[in-house]
């Protein structure tokens, strides 16, 4: 794991792997709540018995649930949080350049995120824009659940 003393060290870390987060279990309750929130009640997510007979042999999490977990999963990566640097006014989700759902996440699987700093550059005075490659791994699986190029902006006073 890499810890940064200041923003200049973070900017200099372009291309470096920034660490792995903690494991998080994806439960059926979480999948059901996401289905309710998004109105996506497709059987492969919420009908446990029918999903067991389906293409994945078990219910799976929505791809967008996996993507939305990035906000939690990335906070468990122990490398320094740029928000800890003095003068941060806001961190803003700016979007994604690329998102791929590589493998389904079966209910009761555990996932974790890792991230690599792709770029860190000034977007405006007092604004640092980061692009990070975030990979969501599934415990015990050879292929990731999701790979995303996530762009965030850090606004400093």
Query: What are the sequence ranges of the domains in the chain?
Result: 7-26+61-156
pTM of the predicted model as reported, rounded to 2 decimal places: 0.88
Which fold does the domain 7-26+61-156 belong to in CATH?
Answer: Thiol Ester Dehydrase; Chain A (3.10.129)
In this prediction, residue 145 carries a pLDDT of: 98
Written as tens digits, the pLDDT of the chain (157 aa) is 455 666 777 777 788 888 899 999 999 999 999 999 999 999 999 999 999 999 999 999 999 999 999 999 998 987 655 555 667 788 899 999 999 999 999 999 999 999 999 999 888 988 989 999 999 999 999 999 999 999 999 888 8
Radius of gyration of the chain (CA): 17
Q: What is the pLDDT of residue 71?
A: 92
pLDDT of residue 125: 87
Q: What is the pLDDT of residue 1?
A: 46
Mind giving me the DSSP string for the chain? ----SSHHHHHTTTT-EEEE---EE--HHHHHHHHHHHT---HHHH-HHHHHTSTTSS-B--HHHHHHTHHHHGGG--SPPGGGSTTEEEEEEEEEEEEEE-S--BTT-EEEEEEEEEEEEEEETTEEEEEEEEEEEETT-SS-SEEEEEEEEEEE-
pLDDT recorded at residue 85: 63
- What is the pLDDT at residue 142? 96
- 39: alpha, beta or left? (left if phi > 0; alpha if psi -120 to 50): left
């Amino acid at each position: 794991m890499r810890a940064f003393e200041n923003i200049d060290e973070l900017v200099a870390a372009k291309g470096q792997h920034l660490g792995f987060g903690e494991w998080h279990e994806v439960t059926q309750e979480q999948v059901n709540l996401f289905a309710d929130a998004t109105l996506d009640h497709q059987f492969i997510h919420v009908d446990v018995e029918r999903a067991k007979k389906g293409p994945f042999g078990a219910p799976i999490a929505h791809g967008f649930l996996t993507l939305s977990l990035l906000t939690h999963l990335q906070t468990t990566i122990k490398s320094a949080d740029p928000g800890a640097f003095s003068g941060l006014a806001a961190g803003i989700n700016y979007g994604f350049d690329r998102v791929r759902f590589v493998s389904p996440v079966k209910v009761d699987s555990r996932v974790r995120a890792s991230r690599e700093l792709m770029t860190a550059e000034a977007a405006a005075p007092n604004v640092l824009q980061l692009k990070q490659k975030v990979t969501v791994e599934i415990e015990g699986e050879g292929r990731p659940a999701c790979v995303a190029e996530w762009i965030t902006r850090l606004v400093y006073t």
